[in-house]
Amino acid sequence: MSYLDEKRNIPGTILFDGKMARKGYGLNKLCYSLNDADGREAFAADEQACCDKYGLTEEQKKAIADRDVLKLLELGGSIYYLAKFAGYIGLNVQDIGAQQTGMTVEEFKAKLVEQGQS
């Protein structure tokens, strides 16, 4: 039995497994294209055209337009490819951490520091 057959509830966490990898294939491929300057330029020139090129669903397109990381994760985004999208829009991992947890960036950073001290 695969460990993925075990239905363990880990709150606030989506496992990026085969189901998500299929669901998010185009979305992640779009984000992967942002590795290259050409990909970033194409995306900057026309986000919608790029979303169409990689076959994003309407929901995924909206989440891209909204810069909504939690929604993108739910729609099959892998954090490793979304990180490239986040970098492109000028957000670091504390910024997206704050966005996902509903904290301010300062609160999120303070929480990290606190855990390091405990």
Burial degree of 75 (CB within 10 A; 0-12, 13-18, 19+): buried
CB of 55 vs other proteins, minimal distance in Å: 14
Residue 34 or 64 having the CB closest to other proteins: 34
Residue 1 or 58 having the CB closest to other proteins: 1
CB of 50 vs other proteins, minimal distance in Å: 14
CB of 98 vs other proteins, minimal distance in Å: 8
CB of 70 vs other proteins, minimal distance in Å: 7
Contact, 85 vs 66, CB < 8 A?
no
Note the residues at the interface with other proteins (CB under 8 A): 2-4, 6, 8, 10-18, 21, 25, 28-29, 31-32, 34-37, 40, 69-70, 73, 78-84, 87-88, 92-94, 96-97, 100-102, 108, 111-113, 115-116, 118
